[in-house]
Amino acid sequence: MMDYAALQAVASVAQTGSFEKAARLLNVTPSAVSQRVKQLEERLGVVLIVRGQPCTATEKGEWLCRHVERVGMLEGELLGHLPAIAGLGAPRQTVTLHIATNADSLGTWFLEAASNFARSAGYLLDIVVDDEDHTAEWLERGRVVAAVTSSQKTVQGCRRHALGSLRYHATASADFISRYFPNGVTPEAIAKAPAITFNQKDRLQGRWIRQVFGQDIAHPTHWLPSTHGFVDAAIFGMGWALNPVHLAREHLQSGRLVELVGNTPVDVPLFWQVSRLSAGHLAELTRQIVAIGKRELVDSVA
């Protein structure tokens, strides 16, 4: 038999980041939480929690945390049919679902779907952000139960739903264009004009350059990990950037932003992948994400 008190302790420490906060969540002492985690680690012969500020789960610990989530969802379903069971044991903990998405989806269309689900589902959400090319890895490692990803390959043990493509335009302020591209947007000018890059995983600028010029071009860049900050920085003339159409459209219409080369959007196909073990309980979240994704994103082939 699994020691669910110990499993819950591991999940609570990973969720809150400390043994003290986990103890308050579980209504026990920090020493009790520490003892439960330690005993389970000794029993399994693996480290489940990396002690630090904050405490984090190891890969094995993440798998246990996802198991606790699934058990919590099953318990919630059972209580819906047999509410009297709730009085037979300890107070039921609210289940926190871990899902992943990319920053630009989070900053444009994703939150409407997540909020619609959260208002009625009775679950809490822990939304982690990573590049769309890397969120599938969170699923593969068992760190989340579902993710928005650009991977067209179905992650093992998951179901994949095509959403559409998030469209980007290469934009800059009119002043920036007059300073750096007085003779047009050429390979030589691009090599000298500073771009704005989200982080080391962000390849959109390079993808647009290859699409327009048919070659890779080294160029200077500012680093700015903020979806909305990209738009503001481009408006202020800091650099040129690939901005989501949802955030750039109004500024392009007003002239605050100008497309570097007309009619050269970059479309990034997105997919919703959800663990088969959790798919039934996340059916409403999937419905919301697919519906809003298809409404807000550009049509693309699955």
Where exactly are the structural domains of the chain? 1-73, 166-267
pLDDT at 278: 86
Can you give the pLDDT at residue 68? 84
The least confident of 13-22, 66-75, 280-289 is: 66-75
Q: Does residue 270 or residue 67 have the better pLDDT?
A: 270
How much is the pLDDT for 188? 97
Mean pLDDT score, 136-151: 92
The proportion of the chain whose per-residue pLDDT surpasses 90, expressed as a percent, equals 73
Q: What is the pLDDT of residue 3?
A: 85
Mean pLDDT of 191-202: 96
- Residue 87: per-residue pLDDT: 57
Give CA–CA dist 151/243, Å, rounded: 21
Handedness of CA 233, 236, 238, 240 (dihedral sign): positive
Strand 221-223 and strand 195-197: the pairing is parallel
114-123 mean pLDDT: 91
Of 254, 224, 255, the C-alpha closest to 241 is 224
Residue from 72, 1, 90 nearest 43 by CA: 1
Residue 30 burial class via C-beta count within 10 angstroms: exposed 0-12, middle 13-18, buried 19 and up: middle
Question: 30-44 vs 19-26: helix axis angle to the nearest 10?
Answer: 110
Model pTM?
0.79
More confident residue, 200 or 87: 200
What mean pLDDT comes out for the span 145-162?
95
Residue written as tokens 């335009």? Answer: 169
Tokens 């990973």 belong to residue: 14
- The whole-chain average pLDDT of the chain stands at 91
Q: Report the CATH number of the 166-267 domain.
A: 3.40.190.10
Q: Average pLDDT of 189-207?
A: 96
Give mean pLDDT, residues 54-62.
89
- Cα distance between residue 110 and residue 2, in whole Å: 36
| Contact by Cβ (8 Å): 10, 48 | yes
Q: What is the pLDDT of residue 77?
A: 61
Looking at the chain, the whole-number percentage of residues with pLDDT higher than 70 is 93
Structure token digits, residue 201:
């995983």
HSE of 233, CA atoms in CB hemisphere, 13 A: 21
Higher pLDDT: 160 or 300? It is: 160
Distance, in Å, from the CA atom of 223 to the CA atom of 196, rounded to the nearest integer, reads 6
| Mean pLDDT on 218-237 | 97
- What's the mean pLDDT in 207-211? 97
Of residues 277 and 225, more confidence is placed in 225
Residue position matching structure tokens 């709730």: 86
Distance CA 119, CA 128 (A): 19
Average pLDDT (39-46) is 90
Confidence band of 62 (pLDDT split at 50, 70, 90): confident
**pLDDT of res. 130:** 95
Mean pLDDT computed over 291-301: 88
CATH for 1-73?
Answer: 1.10.10.10
With a cut of 90, say whether residue 159 has pLDDT above it: yes
User: In angstroms, what CA-CA distances link 177 with 168, 195, 241, 259?
Assistant: 18, 12, 12, 9
